[in-house]
Each structure stands twice: as C-alpha cells, then as structure tokens.
Amino acid sequence: MDVRRITREDWPWIQRWFEDERLNKELGPLDEAWLDHVLRAEDGVQLVAVEDDAPVAVIGCVWSPEAGGLHGITDIAVRLVSRGTGLGPWALAAVVRWDGHPPAALGRLR
C-alpha cells in the first residue's frame, strides 16, 4: 500500500465516497472550501492510501505545533466495499511509514 498527498484530481471520487450517508454523517459534509483548505494546509496533510492504483482510504493528519512534538490522526475514511476488512489499520501503518511528515517525538516507525 502506498500513501500520497491528496490532489485536486481526487475530488470527484472523494465526493462519490461522501454520498454514503454514514460517512457523510460522521466526517462530512465536504465541500470545495474543505478541499481548498487541505490542499493549502501547512499544519497537516490529507493523505490517500492507494492499493493496485485505486484509492482505498483517506487519512487526515495534523502536525504538532512544537518541533519534535506528537502528530495526530484527525480522520480516516475507508472505501465502502473495504469497511470491516481490516484495511484501516493497514492504511494507518502506511501513514506512519510515509516519509513526508515532519520528525515527531516518538520518531519514525518502520
């Protein structure tokens, strides 16, 4: 599983995912303002977990305001057909291994 930053080109499938009532209720609603914010954010990142060239999860991260502090996961959305399969923890592990986050107090787990 690979992880990459969200791009504007991801917006159509993200909108389709959030047509799901449960996902929209728990993490939505999302709009263009949200997309613009996550594309410009410097205090964190919205990541896409990809498997076999298809998005399988979207994960939000926030960086610690202090150098070497603890970063956090703010949200995770798994594609509908993969819910309950254990894919979420795999996506989170891929986020921890992603080399794009600033150093954290706990170091980088590999």
Q: Using one digit for the tens of pLDDT, what is the confidence trace for 24-52?
A: 899 988 999 999 999 999 999 999 999 99
Give the contacts of 39 (CB within 8 A, at least 6 positions apart).
Answer: 6, 7, 8
C-alpha triplet 42, 24, 64: angle, nearest 5°: 25
Mean pLDDT within 8-13? 97
pTM score > 0.75 for this model? yes
> Could you tell me which CATH class the domain 2-97 is placed in?
alpha beta
Q: Which residue has the higher pLDDT, 106 or 68?
A: 68
- Each domain of the chain, given as residue ranges in start order, spans 2-97
According to the model, what pLDDT value does residue 65 have?
84
Contacts of 26 (CB under 8 A, 6+ apart): none
pLDDT tens track for 48-86: 999 999 999 999 999 888 877 888 899 999 988 878 888
Say what the pLDDT of residue 109 is. 38
